[in-house]
Amino acid sequence: MLLAVLSVLPVAAQPLDPLAAVSWMAGCWSFRSDGRTVDEQWMRPAGGVMLGMSRSVPDGRAGSFEFAVMHTQDGRLVYDARPEGQARTLFPLAKAGADEVIFENLAHDFPQRVIYRRLGNDRMQARVEGRTARGDQGFDYPFARVACPQ
């Protein structure tokens, strides 16, 4: 009898995978503007982490790069940014929806928010924004999905 009752109860003890909110980002993304190419690549979630990297190549020359890790810390999804030549910065998840995630660290100088929006299966917009000495600023990166290099 107890087994029959337990079989109809919802399984509430199983937490949802926090990386499920960002799994649509897995793959390779690129955009080109004013002679600069920006590529971003995200591995699919596995083992509780999602690894990413990006590089900016202005006019065919070496530019900047960044590594990123999405993982849980203290039960919360975080965007762990590791830009070239700078200290790593954690941006805890502030908001997640089916097509948008917002990570926020108001104590950081710039950016204070890292935003990813899905715009269909083959497009996404990344945005960094925050307050600077000059006021609010933001930069958009309109990515298109591309084949990952071999």
47 belongs to a structural domain: yes
pLDDT one-digit tens code per residue, 86-114: 999 999 999 999 999 999 999 999 999 99
Q: What pLDDT, in 10s, does the model give residues 41-61?
A: 999 999 999 999 999 999 989
Residue 4 falls within a domain, yes or no? no
Residue 49 lies in a domain: yes
Parent domain of 127: 15-143
Model confidence, pTM: 0.86
- The confidence score (pLDDT) of residue 26 equals 97
CATH value at residue 139: 2.40.128.20
What residues pair up with 95 in beta bridges, in sequence order? 102
Q: How far apart are CA 62 and CA 58, in angstroms?
A: 7
> Is it the case that residue 12 has pLDDT exceeding 50?
no
Backbone region of residue 122 per phi and psi (left: phi > 0; alpha: psi in -120 to 50; beta: other values): alpha
Indicate the number of domains in the chain: 1
Whether residue 149 lies inside any domain: the answer is: no
Residue 1: pLDDT band with limits 50, 70, 90: very low
Percent above pLDDT 90 for the chain:
79
In a domain, 150, yes or no: no
| Alpha carbon distance 90, 61 (integer Å) | 29
